[in-house]
A and B are shown apart, each in its own frame.
Chain A
Amino acid sequence: MNKEETVKLISAEGFEFVIDKKAAMVSQTIRNMLTSPGSFSETQHGVVRFPEISTTILEKICQYFYWSLQFTSGKETEFHIEPELTLELMMAANYLHT
């Protein structure tokens, strides 16, 4: 994974998740951040911070991104969600428009 193809997502606790750009683009919000013509710092550095999203949730979200890529490429599996995460995950997903 070169630098050019990755983005870094930083959770509320400061954890950094480095994922493929393609995976991050699954989220409409991130996509807009990274591709908008304005000069967002996110665009420039490829780093997005999420101060409201906790680490566990963000991790799950990254897993979802990769699962989604897999799904579109044909491999259709089930994405398991731990029940206790569900509510927060839903809200985060809503925010990220994913």
Chain B
Amino acid sequence: MRILLRSREIAPPKSHPLKKTLKSRKINNNNNNNNPTPSKTQPQLSKDSEQLVSRGGGGISLRRSGRLAKRGQGIIIKSDLNAVVDKMKFQQVVLVGNNEDDDKVWIFDSGNNNLSINGEEVKSGSGGKRKCGGDGGGPGLDSKKSKVVDCENGMLEDETSLEVDRVSDSYSDTDSCKKGSDDSTLKADDSGLDMAKRAKESDSVEVIDLDELDMRQSLIGSTGDRNGKENTYKDSESVSLGLSIGGWRSTRRRVRVEENESDELVSNVRDADEVDKETKPSLSGETGDGDTLETMETSLGLGRRKYSREEKGKGILDLNLPPEEQPEPKLGVDPVELNLFPVEENPAKDFSDSTQDAATSLIQLQEAAESESARQRARLSVRSKAHRRRGDRNRFQDVAKHSGPKFAHFHAEEEEEEINVAAPSADELPEIEDWPGPFSTAMKIIKDRSTKLNGRQVTLTQGSSKTTPVIQWMPSTDRNRNPMKPFVPSLQDLCVSLLAKNAEAIVSLKNVPDDLRNTLTKLLCDSRKMDSHVMNLLVAESPDVVRVKDCSWMTEEQMSKTFGECDTSKLVVLQLDLCGRCLPDYVLRATLARSPKSLPCLAAVSLRGACRVTDAGLSSLVASAPCLRSINLGQCSLITSTGIDTIANSLGLLVRELYLDDCQSIDVMLILSALKKLKCLEVLSVADMETVCDDFISGDFSIGHIANGCPLIEKLKLCRNTLSDEAIAAFLEASGESLTELSLNNIKKVGPNTAISLARRCTRNLLTLDLSWCRNLTDEAVGYIVDGCLSLRLIKLFGCTQISNAFLDGHSNPFVRIIGLKTTPILEHLNVFDPLEGPLRYSSVPIS
């Protein structure tokens, strides 16, 4: 027995004698005199199978009770079509389930005010006859565009009942038809479906009310994908009756299950302006969870307690108001909050915002007065399919988790709250500089900029207390973009690939220039074909440059053997990234750092990922390599600030590049003094270090200091930390001019201030800019940056899905390559730049 249910309570004008109870009330089905004309009769409730209750007075209100439905009980439909609801009539379909033997499908077409049962029209009210069920019904339903609420029962489980199938078909049709229509579809129908299904098993008829909020949610949700439905439940407004929510959800879930994951339930809700409905939370006991069940039971009371509208927490949904301004329902009782979906509320809310916008029809709900007594509820005893529901629930939770962020809007203020930056107050920390350096001056300017603009503009961000400067940038409409030419593989690339494929056949790499070697090893590492044979080739005969970007394959023995025999006297650049496995301190001492003179020429060293190297090993390395100018110690988790002090003490005047990405044991605040000693620092990378915060960058400390003391900094990586927009902007103002590469990857707060500073200060030198995952940037901001930074060649925008084609098509920088947005080919950026990355890219030390 299927039940398609749509319940929308429009205006329950008066109480119905045939109120539902939890008990079995079956709605009389078929071709009898249940003409649920909206304003007229009430179909009688017969006790045996289905009952369709329609209330006069104009609205159709349907209650859903999944449990009842489940039991095969009828669903009493209250249909109160508002007189106002004229064109926009709901079409409500209620399928009342009943015992197996009596499968009937009731479809009430509110638009036409007729009820069709089992595909035949029972009666047509105001409109013409319309077949709801059957194939005719589908398109027929559709024809009434705006108001048709279709139940989708395509998802109904395989029922043998013809009617249901027919209806299913029709609904599937309508569903597909609906997709063409621009009306919002009410996904709430799931619950109807649920009901239907449940009715199959349940014994009692339930009157199903959908809380209007729920309905709205579901309506809203319906426009999104089905997954979005889950999210709508989380809307805080629908907390009014937790159980209702739960019930609602559960019905949905239930429906899902039975849908066999086919189509969505679609119900089209016609334009709400005229539709006035109230829906109540379904009290169906679909919730498999015991808690919901109990809450439902308890709050409902078993039996027929009627709640006032206030108690039910119904509110009025005014379609003309944005969701935030909807009048909140006042709750007489405490809402029971069911946290069935651990999805953030805000994403759901935003989701509902967005979908509501997309929805063309919304329900308008009437005032409480009407609904007070009009509600009928059926209380159902819950029959839980706990297991199935739980499974569903988990599934839906996953779905919600996945789809929620899809619709979530970025809330800047949320993010800020979440990030607990334990920034020491300025008072506590000793003043290092007494005089305002360029950084603090710049900081002030940025702040003033914000306050100036504050007076002039209205901030649009929700609830944001900060005002952000608005960037005026219009995308240009000039459409002269060069078409893409087919990419011809160069001969060099072809050869290198061939060599990489047959690396074992290479006998010698003598005379091969270093950059070709590097390309080859890079390719080998990427394709995981690097081995000690090639390694030996690389280190043979006193190489100048050994760059292996992935040494994870190497064992300690191999390392000892290879580098034990290697003549490192001419080694200028050594890169052994990801050498954690093979390079503990003792191997380091045995090979590279074997004597204080073992690395006399070494200018650049990269030991990224050397997770077994400690401060002691580092100091022995530093002792052996007196000319070091570039040190990359990314991800060396054992290095602490002591190691950095060692570097600073012995190499303070030489070190130009220092990479300390993701060194977990380093607290950047502690290395400030060491950093100050590095007078020639050109490159500092403190990406991914949690301790980098505004104070690190602020006027008195560190990078602020670097801004003041190392004005020539060329490459800066400040990724994934909590720096604020103003701080970065101020830093750029102060020292950004010499920057050639800047990475602000995943610094969430990057925003317009940074954009403005970038465009103003970094015009001449900035070559690459990484703004991936900076979701606060708008099209205007990025366009402004790109048009302003004339030397910009590469901008990375991974994860910035908020950037649209307006930027892509509209920016006027002909040379810049944009990678990371979904319209740009993702691997082309690998061909963009010189593959020589890493140490000493910018310094004057030549890499041969």
Contact = CB atoms under 8 A, between A and B. Distances in A.
A76 B506 CA distance: 29
Given A72-B485, A90-B516, A91-B513, A98 B491 contact: yes
A87 B513 CA distance: 11
Contact of B488 (A68, A91, A94): A68
Interface in B601-635: none
Contacts of B491: 61, 64, 79, 89-90, 93, 96, 98
Contacts of A35: none
Interface string B202-219: 000000000000000000
B367 interface: no
Given A87-B512, A90-B499, A91-B516, A81 B494 contact: yes
Interface in A70-98: 71-72, 74, 76, 79, 81, 83, 86-87, 89-91, 93-94, 96, 98
Given A83-B502, A83-B505, A90 B488 contact: no
Contacts of A79: 489, 491, 494
B97 to A, nearest CB: 62
Nearest to A27: B491
Contacts of B88: none
B495 A86 contact: yes
Interface in B494-548: 494-496, 498-499, 502, 505-506, 511-513, 515-516
B676 to A, nearest CB: 43
Contact of A71 (B486, B495, B516): B486
Given A72-B485, A94-B513, A87 B490 contact: no
Contact of B495 (A68, A74, A76, A89): A89
Contacts of A93: 490-492, 495
Nearest to A85: B495
Contacts of B496: 90
Contacts of B505: 83
Contact of A98 (B492, B499, B511, B512): B492
Contacts of A98: 490-492
Contacts, number: 52
A87 to B, nearest CB: 7
B512 A71 contact: no
A3 B650 CA distance: 65
Contact of A81 (B485, B486, B495, B513): B495
A72 B515 CA distance: 27
Interface in A17-72: 61, 64, 68, 71-72
A94 B499 CA distance: 14
B695 to A, nearest CB: 48
Given A94-B515, A94-B516, A87 B506 contact: yes
A41 B143 CA distance: 81
Contact of B512 (A72, A83, A91, A96): A91
Given A91-B512, A91-B516, A81 B492 contact: no
Contacts of A90: 491-492, 495-496, 499, 512, 516
Contacts of A89: 491, 495
Contacts of A86: 495, 498-499, 502
Contacts of A87: 495, 499, 506, 512
A16 to B, nearest CB: 21
B502 to A, nearest CB: 6
Nearest to B508: A87
Nearest to A70: B488
B498 A81 contact: yes
A61 B486 CA distance: 20
Interface residues of A, number: 19
A79 B488 CA distance: 11
A71 B488 contact: yes
Nearest to A83: B502
The CB with the most chain B CB atoms within 10 A, among A61, A74, A81, A96, is that of A81
A96 B513 CA distance: 14
B37 to A, nearest CB: 69
B185 to A, nearest CB: 46
Contacts of A94: 492, 513, 515-516
A2 to B, nearest CB: 26
A33 B485 CA distance: 24
Interface in B652-709: none
A84 B505 CA distance: 10
B487 to A, nearest CB: 9
Contacts of A61: 491
A33 to B, nearest CB: 17
A56 to B, nearest CB: 14
Contacts of B489: 79
Contacts of A91: 511-513, 516
Contacts of B511: 91
A44 B491 CA distance: 27
A71 B485 CA distance: 11
Contacts of A71: 486, 488
B24 to A, nearest CB: 72
B655 to A, nearest CB: 32
B202 to A, nearest CB: 65
Nearest to B502: A83
Contacts of B495: 81, 86-87, 89-90, 93
A86 B496 CA distance: 8
B492 to A, nearest CB: 4
B602 to A, nearest CB: 26
Contacts of B490: 93, 98
Contacts of A76: 486
Interface string B467-493: 000000000000000000110111110
B499 to A, nearest CB: 5
A20 B120 CA distance: 81
A90 B492 CA distance: 5
A86 B512 CA distance: 12
A49 B559 CA distance: 44
A90 B516 CA distance: 8
A7 B574 CA distance: 43
A96 to B, nearest CB: 8
Contacts of B498: 81, 83, 86
A76 B486 CA distance: 10
Contacts of B499: 86-87, 90
Contacts of B494: 79, 81
B103 to A, nearest CB: 61
Contacts of B488: 68, 71-72
A64 B513 CA distance: 22
Contacts of A64: 491
A7 to B, nearest CB: 17
Nearest to B491: A93
Contacts of B502: 83, 86
Interface in B5-42: none
Nearest to B506: A87
A83 to B, nearest CB: 6
The CB with the most chain B CB atoms within 10 A, among A61, A71, A86, A89, is that of A86
A89 B515 CA distance: 15
A89 B506 CA distance: 14
A86 B488 CA distance: 18
Interface of B: 485-486, 488-492, 494-496, 498-499, 502, 505-506, 511-513, 515-516
Interface of A: 61, 64, 68, 71-72, 74, 76, 79, 81, 83, 86-87, 89-91, 93-94, 96, 98
Given A74-B486, A83-B498, A96-B491, 14 more contacts: A72-B485, A72-B488, A76-B486, A79-B489, A79-B494, A83-B502, A86-B495, A87-B495, A87-B506, A90-B516, A91-B511, A94-B515, A94-B516, A98-B490
22 contacts: A68-B488, A72-B485, A76-B486, A81-B495, A81-B498, A86-B499, A87-B495, A87-B499, A87-B506, A87-B512, A89-B491, A90-B495, A90-B499, A90-B516, A91-B513, A91-B516, A93-B490, A93-B491, A94-B492, A94-B515, A96-B491, A98-B491
4 A-B pairs with least C-beta separation? A90-B495, A93-B491, A93-B492, A64-B491
